[in-house]
């Protein structure tokens, strides 16, 4: 039980680690209203995201989507490099197959020729039977006249039996041919059904292709197809199989006729049957079921929602933005139609979460007693070369400088974030006299790409202070032995500061 629980926990961790979120825009909304506000909502740092464009007809457009994670790098200021010893980096699927009506029409033509030949043979049989029936009437008259001559009577009677047998055989043959002609009519009926199926399929193909070229939403496409029953493909397989069975049955019945027909008619019927069979074989080679399968495929695919969704490969949001570059290329749906313009655009999706470090440089202003240098002077006394040490009021309210700052904060995905900072600065002095200052505090980071930082906190500034223990205020000193510069030393004092700095960022692929 314990192992099962541990496995379940491990499985949930793995499943969560590979879960994918979705970013979607609606193409029809974007095309008609340029509405993309949903895309700009922040996404979670570290998660995998798949970008979708919904309601875009993939039979009409070729869509290419390139997604990548973008980080914003800011150059590390020289002061901080030195301090930390850091280093510097395309619908259309062609479905216009040739229709099979020509092959079916050829079968129909050849079948009618075979039927005409059979009817001609049947007509000849009718003529022969009529003649033989006339002969019978003559024989009957002869029989009544030859009753006295028994020998002649039996000869005439034998002749009558022969003619009756011939009439019987020819009637049976005529019946066979009539049955075969009836089968031919049934064959032509099945052929006509198949021709209707084929014609209907080709009409449906054109209708569905026209539907596929419409720039509509998936919901609209689905409604147009479902509500039109004439678009649903009818399987021609049943009539196709019946046609093959009829052809096989014709062969058997023609073979049964051969012994009773003269050679010229046998040869003629065989040639005409071969034409039918060859045309049917050609029909099978062209395979009308291919047209049906294409129409059925198109019918089903136009109802498949995935064919109205362009999907990009997943991208992990492990930087500042996920950038998507989209190219939508229209297919030319008609040789006489106008070309549609290709559409290319890109956009950034901001990321929220994860620690971000930025660098900025800007003016900084320290204020308070700890931020100002002490100023001293000697007040002249009555004694030559002596003076009383006095402290001069420093009327400066602020101590200005320039600082290089490092800001660390959690991405908010918005136009502002709160974070901490560490800075190093120097006052407006000569290079020889420049003294470092250190800053720590809070930053309000404003902006998503190029950022402005409003900073405040505690500053530790190198300022002038009276040398402790060596000199005292209101004390008299020999001015020839001591100068003003000898009275002070540099010490770090804390104070408050405010600053407005700018972060110059460059976009780089993650």
Q: How far is CA 68 from CA 27, 160, 318, 321, 389, in A?
A: 21, 103, 10, 8, 68
Cα–Cα–Cα angle for 334, 339, 345, rounded to 5 degrees? 130
Q: Is the dihedral of CA 221, 223, 228, 234 positive or negative?
A: positive
When pLDDT is averaged across residues 240-263 and rounded to a whole number, the result is 80
Of 134-143, 294-303, 401-410, least confident by mean pLDDT is 134-143
**Separation between Cα atoms, residue 496 and residue 371, nearest integer Å:** 8
42 near 290, Cβ under 8 Å? Answer: no
For the chain, give the mean pLDDT.
Answer: 76
* Residue whose C-alpha is closest to residue 499's, from 454, 463, 432: 454
Q: How many CB atoms lie within 10 A of CB 444?
A: 15
Q: Is residue 45's pLDDT more than 80?
A: yes
Three-state secondary structure call for residue 420? strand
Residues contacting residue 57 through CB under 8 Å, at least 6 positions apart: 91, 212, 214, 215, 216, 221, 307, 308
Q: Is residue 119's pLDDT more than 50?
A: yes
312 near 323, Cβ under 8 Å? Answer: no
Give the whole-number percent of the chain exceeding pLDDT 90.
Answer: 8
**Separation between Cα atoms, residue 272 and residue 261, nearest integer Å:** 15
pLDDT in tens, 71-118: 777 676 665 555 544 443 433 343 344 446 666 777 777 777 777 776
Q: Is residue 142's pLDDT more than 70?
A: no
Q: Is residue 204's pLDDT more than 80?
A: yes
**Separation between Cα atoms, residue 244 and residue 277, nearest integer Å:** 9
* Residue whose C-alpha is closest to residue 180's, from 111, 262, 278, 242: 111
Domain boundaries, the chain: 20-90+309-348, 101-301, 355-509
CB burial string 245-282: b at 16+ within 10 A, e below:
ebbeebeeebeebeebbeeebbebbeebbebbbebbee
Highest mean pLDDT among 157-171, 361-375, 376-390, 438-452: 438-452
Q: Which residue has the tokens 């509500």?
A: 227
**Separation between Cα atoms, residue 133 and residue 191, nearest integer Å:** 39
250 near 190, Cβ under 8 Å? Answer: no
Q: Is residue 36's pLDDT more than 70?
A: no
| Tally: H helices and E strands in the chain | 9, 18
**Separation between Cα atoms, residue 310 and residue 327, nearest integer Å:** 11
Q: How many CB atoms lie within 10 A of CB 292?
A: 22
Cα end-to-end distance, the chain, whole Å: 43
* pLDDT band (50, 70, 90) for residue 160: low
Q: Mind spelling out the 3-state secondary structure of 278-341?
A: HHHHHHHHHCHHHHHHHHHHHHHHCCCHHHHEEECCCEECCCCEEEEEEEEEECCCCCCCCCCC
H or E element that contains 489: strand 488-503
**Separation between Cα atoms, residue 171 and residue 345, nearest integer Å:** 84
**Separation between Cα atoms, residue 199 and residue 212, nearest integer Å:** 20
Which one has a higher pLDDT value, 131 or 60?
A: 60
Of 91-95, 219-223, 385-389, least confident by mean pLDDT is 91-95
pLDDT in tens, 258-298: 777 778 877 877 887 787 777 777 776 556 777 788 888 88
Residues contacting residue 84 through CB under 8 Å, at least 6 positions apart: 76
414 near 42, Cβ under 8 Å? Answer: yes
Which one has a higher pLDDT value, 84 or 370?
A: 370
Give the whole-number percent of the chain exceeding pLDDT 70.
Answer: 74
Residues contacting residue 379 through CB under 8 Å, at least 6 positions apart: 387, 388, 389, 390
* Residue whose C-alpha is closest to residue 495's, from 430, 436, 418, 441: 441
* pLDDT band (50, 70, 90) for residue 39: low
Could you tell me the two tokens for 465? 């202070």
* Residue whose C-alpha is closest to residue 288's, from 372, 357, 193: 193
Q: How far is CA 217 from CA 21, 38, 58, 182, 214, in A?
A: 23, 18, 11, 53, 9
Q: Is residue 251's pLDDT more than 80?
A: yes
When pLDDT is averaged across residues 235-244 and rounded to a whole number, the result is 79
């Amino acid at each position: 039980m314990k192992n099962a629980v541990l496995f379940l926990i491990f499985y949930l961790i793995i499943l969560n680690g590979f879960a994918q979120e979705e970013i979607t825009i609606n193409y029809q909304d974007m095309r008609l209203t340029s509405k993309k506000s949903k895309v700009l909502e922040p996404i979670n740092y570290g998660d995998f995201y798949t970008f979708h464009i919904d309601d875009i007809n993939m039979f009409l457009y070729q869509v290419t989507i390139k997604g990548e994670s973008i980080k914003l790098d800011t150059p590390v200021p020289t002061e901080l490099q030195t301090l930390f010893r850091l280093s510097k980096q395309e619908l259309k699927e062609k479905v216009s197959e040739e229709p099979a009506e020509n092959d079916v029409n050829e079968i129909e033509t050849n079948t009618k020729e075979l039927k005409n030949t059979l009817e001609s043979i049947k007509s000849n049989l009718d003529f022969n039977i009529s003649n033989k029936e006339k002969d019978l009437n003559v024989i009957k008259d002869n029989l009544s006249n030859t009753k006295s001559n028994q020998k002649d009577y039996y000869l005439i009677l034998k002749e009558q039996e022969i003619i009756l047998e011939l009439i019987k055989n020819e009637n049976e043959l005529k019946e066979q041919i009539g049955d075969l002609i009836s089968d031919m009519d049934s064959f032509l009926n099945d052929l006509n059904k198949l021709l209707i199926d084929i014609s209907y399929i080709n009409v449906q193909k054109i209708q569905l292709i026209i539907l596929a070229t419409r720039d509509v939403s998936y919901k609209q496409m689905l409604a147009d197809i479902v509500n039109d029953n004439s678009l649903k493909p009818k399987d021609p397989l049943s009539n196709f199989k019946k046609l093959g069975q009829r052809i096989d049955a014709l062969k058997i019945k023609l073979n049964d006729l051969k012994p009773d027909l003269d050679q010229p008619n046998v040869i003629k019927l065989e040639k005409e049957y071969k034409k039918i069979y060859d045309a049917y074989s050609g029909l099978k080679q062209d395979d009308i079921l291919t047209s049906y399968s294409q129409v059925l495929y198109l019918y089903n695919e136009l109802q498949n929602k995935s064919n109205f969704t362009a999907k990009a490969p997943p991208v992990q949001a492990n930087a500042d933005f996920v950038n998507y570059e989209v190219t939508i290329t229209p297919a030319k749906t008609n040789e006489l139609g106008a070309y549609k313009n290709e559409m290319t655009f890109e956009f950034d999706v901001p990321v929220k979460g994860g620690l971000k470090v930025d660098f900025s440089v800007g003016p900084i202003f320290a204020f308070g007693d700890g931020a100002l240098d002490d100023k001293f002077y000697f007040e002249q006394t009555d004694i030559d070369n002596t003076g009383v040490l006095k402290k001069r009021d420093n009327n400066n309210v602020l101590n200005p400088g320039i600082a290089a700052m490092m800001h660390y904060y959690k991405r908010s995905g918005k136009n502002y974030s709160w974070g901490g900072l560490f800075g190093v600065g120097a006052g407006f002095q000569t290079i020889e006299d420049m003294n470092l200052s250190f800053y720590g505090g809070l930053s309000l980071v404003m902006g998503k790409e190029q950022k402005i930082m409003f900073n405040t906190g505690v500053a530790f500034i190198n300022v002038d202070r009276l040398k402790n223990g060596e000199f005292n205020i209101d004390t008299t000193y020999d001015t020839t032995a001591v100068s003003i510069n000898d009275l002070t030393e540099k010490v770090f004092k804390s104070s408050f500061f405010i600053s407005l700095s700018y972060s110059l960022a460059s976009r780089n692929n993650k």
